[in-house]
Amino acid sequence: MLSLNDTYSTTPEMAAVMSDGALLRHMAAFEGALAAAQADAGLIPRQVAETIARAADALAFDEPAMFAEALKGGTVAIPLVKALTSAVREISPDAAASVHFGATSQDAIDSGLVLQLGEALVIIDREMTRLAEAAAALARAHAKTVMLGRTMMQPATPITFGLKAAQWLLAIAESRTRLRAHAGAALKAQFGGAAGSLGSLGDHGAATARHLATRLAAMNAYEPARAQAAAGTPLPWHTRRGALLALASELAIATGAAGKIARDVALMMQFELGETFEPAEAGRGGSSAMPHKRNPVRCMLTVAAALRTPGLMGTLLSGMVQEHERALGGWQSEWGALPELVKCCAGALDNMATTLAGLNVDGDRMRANFDALNGLPMTEMLALALAPHLGRTEAFALVEKAARQVGSGGKSLAEVVKADAQASGALPGAEIDRILDPASALGATQDFIESALAVWEGK
């Protein structure tokens, strides 16, 4: 059963993948892979490794009991290893001595996390793809749908809705590319033993680490990370958390990119604008007090997720300041922050992918909102057109004066400028109309949209 926090912040699928039980399952898988790697290195008999792996695969978890014991020892690896050792002992008392041989608690937890994150990134990648595809479809469909550009929450020059969607697309596409690169560096086996030297394994330590890296990489569900992960790391990364935090940072960036889309859509959903609407879903978006409301609930949840991620990243970055060969609190602070960050990212991407896939776009309303400003967003274009005839300073002063008349008198910019002898002497009325047509001021819009689509289609 999902908690209320998970219901708001993530998807049921991701809640299951990032659950405590899932981490325990992956930690047990690490123990089986470790035994197999030690057999590969000639450290333990193959039959012993197979017994451990079989017991690890079938291990049942009494989570409440394990968590109670974890509180005493400060790590859930202790009760897990105890449970696995008991399970192996029932099969082969001799094999039980080789469980967790040479490893430390952090090896099991970090390597389990790596496998857990691999499953999570399969979902994240899929949701990023869904969101990017939906944004790409909007960019194509609305490449010529003129709307008001807005800067600092004020009217600016014209753009198209397709250009806005192309910006959304490129933000997600670029984040997906970076995430894949970071995953290869981060999703690597952790194996250093008590103090990072593998001293208890003697001459077999380095070979075991290499075999373990290969085995855990092959087990990882996230295919883009496997090749780089199989190479392992030069040293254990017990207190060297940079690669993992680079991956976490990109998850935060992806969440922020989804939050930016959500903010845009929600602003355009304001009744006064009415340019976009979240797809209609039965029971979603209503108000407990006002029957007329159509609230942007998916946008709301996405913005909330984006607002949470800086604090979670702050915790992760603060935790990098660790003591000697094993952290006292820094590493442990990741245990709550990182799963929450992953879950927030998945929830944000899912909400916005669903929103954009079914987004209601009112192009007529976009144009009406632009036209309601009586040409004011076109002052830059008009001043630039008059400058060769009047001089830049004089042209900008004339247009500024005309804009004030538009604002106070209710006339359009075209009417005011055509009535000005100086302006009408410089430009004929038909040319003024052409200059003030927003479709003539879109510049590189189409090229930019096509460039963003090309990046995505090349993936």
Residue 29 lies in a domain: yes
List the helix and strand counts (H, then E) for the chain. Answer: 21, 4
Query: Both 257 and 386 in a single domain?
Result: no
- What pLDDT does 283 receive? 56
User: Each residue's pLDDT tens digit in the chain (459 positions)?
Assistant: 778 888 889 999 999 999 999 999 999 999 999 999 999 999 999 999 999 999 999 999 999 999 999 999 999 999 999 999 999 999 999 999 999 999 999 999 999 999 999 999 999 999 999 999 999 999 999 999 999 999 999 999 999 999 999 999 999 999 999 999 999 999 999 999 999 999 999 999 999 999 999 999 999 999 999 999 999 999 999 999 999 999 999 999 999 999 999 999 999 999 999 999 999 876 555 544 444 557 899 999 999 999 999 999 999 999 999 999 999 999 999 999 999 999 999 999 999 999 999 999 999 999 999 999 999 999 999 999 999 999 999 999 999 999 999 977 779 999 999 999 999 999 999 999 999 999 999 999 999 999 999 999 997
pTM across the whole model: 0.94
Strands 154-160 and 276-277: unpaired
The predicted pLDDT at position 2 comes to: 78
Give the pair of three-digit tokens for residue 401. Answer: 């004066």
Of 176, 173, 185, residue with least CA distance to 226: 185
- Can you list the alpha helix ranges (DSSP code H) found in 187-318? 205-219, 226-230, 242-269, 297-318
Do 255 and 296 fall within a single domain? yes
Q: Do 390 and 256 share a domain, yes or no? A: no
Question: Which positions ≥6 away from 217 have C-beta within 8 Å?
Answer: 187, 188, 189, 225, 226, 227, 229, 230
Residue that has been written with the tokens 């400003």 in this structure? 373
Based on the fold, state whether residues 182 and 323 are members of the same structural domain: yes
Determine the pLDDT at residue 260: 98
What CATH number did the domain enclosing 272 receive?
A: 1.20.200.10
Rounded Cα distance between 179 and 175, Å, is 6
Is 442 contained in some domain?
no
Q: Which residue among 3, 86, 287, 424 is the active-site one? A: 287
- For the chain, how long is the longest CA-to-CA vector? 103
Distance, in Å, from the CA atom of 37 to the CA atom of 209, rounded to the nearest integer, reads 8
d(CA 116, CA 27): 9
| pLDDT, position 396 | 96
Q: Is residue 441 part of a domain?
A: no
Buried b (16+ CB within 10 A) or exposed e, 49-71: bebbbbbbeebebeeeebeebbe
The answer to whether residue 313 sits within a structural domain is: yes
Q: What is the dihedral of CA 246, 251, 255, 260, to 10 degrees?
A: 40
Q: Do 283 and 409 share a structural domain?
A: no
Candidates 126, 150, 263, 326; catalytic one:
326
Q: What is the CATH number of the domain that holds 389?
A: 1.10.40.30
Number of independent structural domains in the chain: 2
Alpha-carbon distance of 187 to 114, in angstroms, equals: 5
Q: Is 326 assigned a catalytic role?
A: yes
Identity (one letter) of the amino acid at 73? G
Tokens 């300073």, residue?
393
CA angle, corner 17, sides to 214 and 53, nearest 5? 40
Kindly report the number of other CB atoms within 10 A of residue 277's CB atom: 18
Cα 184 to Cα 65, 170, 181, 227: the distances in Å are: 35, 22, 6, 7
Same domain, 152 and 174: yes
Task: Say whether both 390 and 355 belong to one domain.
Answer: no
Same domain? 354 vs 395: no
Distance CA 410, CA 402 (A): 12
- Do 140 and 282 fall within a single domain? yes
Question: Residue 341 domain-assigned?
Answer: yes
Q: Give the per-residue pLDDT at 158.
A: 97
Whether residue 412 sits in one domain with residue 288: no
Task: Establish if 52 belongs to a structural domain.
Answer: no
Whether residue 327 is contained in a domain is answered as yes
305 and 411 inside one domain: no
Q: Which of 265, 250, 276 is nearest to 302 (CA)?
A: 265
| 147 inside domain | yes
Full domain range(s) for residue 240: 4-43+101-366
The question of whether 333 is a catalytic residue gets the answer no
Cα three-residue angle 241-245-250, rounded to 5 degrees: 160
Per-residue model confidence (pLDDT) at position 325 = 95
**Within this chain, do residues 115 and 181 fall inside the same structural domain, yes or no?**
yes
